[in-house]
A and B are shown apart, each in its own frame.
Chain A
């Protein structure tokens, strides 16, 4: 036993050397850009009301510190342990999603999405994303033989539960992320295109049904309409999109300079430190800055896929693929809505947007990626 324990220790120590520094650097780079952008977006309006202009940045730094701990925790155990606890984690996350709808949760702008904890807001939907990835990875890795239509539907059912609960909050954006995780992992699992088509049709039918019974809130329809037919909807929806486009477009090739953006400084872009943080980069650092940001995501995702490829077991591959799908989709939808090619759905930009829950979740995800990666030889 002692020998076995010793061997495990040795193996662990060896594994540390297999940490992917490029992956870590990309995540840190993104978080740094985020800090600068958050400061630019908030310092003026905070100062205007007599608050510390660094207030939001300091909070974000705190989140980052906590996030670093979470990341360490996420890579400290053998990821295969997740396979054992995935079901429990998954069910717990569903319970949290139900509880947040009760008076225990906090309502902001008509959506009940958070638990108020020690002055910080915790969104159970973020936890549910990782829980779902773990659950699906477990489920898919246990399957033997080719994926049947029945398997596809069972997998989809697992994703549909949290997606539906989140949708009720209402948080359309997070629902889309659950769907993206599902699709990404099904692709990796080898689902036939035909099956995915059947799944999509079923989903469409359910969504149309949702419209019929009034599950979809008015402002969600409005936002989707704002995207599909901007002229037909409210001034507010149009305003968000137009101001974001003006901010990014006016940045030009090289940007107007840090803290110099008039759109940013004068508060023309709503929700700029959270959902629209990309506009700060776009305006103040131009195409060069925006492209750099995208390149960092490119690097991050490249490394994530690499983790998936080199994983020593299918479970690790599914885990990494799910995380990559989640990050890629969030990045795509967020940047897309900032530049006017995606509906405004309230998805934060991973690592960059202000906000604790999303940052912790994303860092935990990076931790898991590293976890899979450094144990690839074990």
Chain B
């Protein structure tokens, strides 16, 4: 491997690592922000403390997840320049404005109202506070809109021209660039994924406390809400995912070939591989367990429709099926399990056993983190699947790299890995610790603490089990 190839590989690993870590937090906070808005709306409408308790319980968790999303997100903003400077130079005139719109319409909105959402309830009153919560929730969704538009343009670039500096410059109305062909599908699929991920986490936490026989009204309510969400959204997601897949087949057929493990072309209907080990060198799916014609039926809605294989694509333009084949199956497999969980919860409701069906609770607990795995697997599928291009068909990943030596990239990668695992590992542990306590009546809130605070009252019941939860947050009390 030459020095440049090593540096490229390291830069790619660094990007994959930092974005995967980052993506975990927004995947959770997009859904959670909306859930918080719903909880607060229900509280305002019904006046029931139950909803306020749930709101405050999840708000503490949201604050930690959001902070981690913010700080890991700034890394992404600058990494385009540090490690992918040729890409930044050449694509900047198109993706730059879209990302600037993300900051202007989303990041400021979230950040501007987050302080009020976390600590301002007693300062601004219920209604204005609800507005702030909604602004944060809307901000997270707007953020997804713009960044996925950028990402989609890199998959399905339209409306560009090359200028004399070899830059891709806008050559069509911006609305066409923003709503590029893969964007609507990717946006809906990703945002639904975020909602589903959050629902599974909420459901998992509810299930945990039900299993521990702490079925307070709050626990029951959140478990029920989460299971409704899973039952309604999981099937929808499968439909949307199918549509997204068809869109991909139209614009990035090589990606779908890799997802399916099709090296050979199938003129009379392609099989669906349930299992197999793709070998890109031998161009063969080993140990394949296939259902004849099913792939054509799914992708073309015709069992005998022809489907081309990877061998029709020049070797240096193929994505690595070895990764994409399996990441795709992990995502789909988990999606089907989520559907199963949703249906099971409906059955449990019918039989009035939602809160005492131990096996359902065990399943929901096990599925708690599955959204994150599915989201990352899906992301790997779409991003690895468009290789070797960073802008599909226009700019190769290998040509987009910054002139940084391998040792420098190796060094930064090493530091990112250490810092992310330590800092975000601890943050996730704090979140899990909060989740380990059930939401209860009189849930403490940020606003309970001193007039203005960022962090939230450290609940005594967490650090000292059984003690009264007191909203004190002075150093003396803590130590």
Q: Do A and B bind each other?
A: no
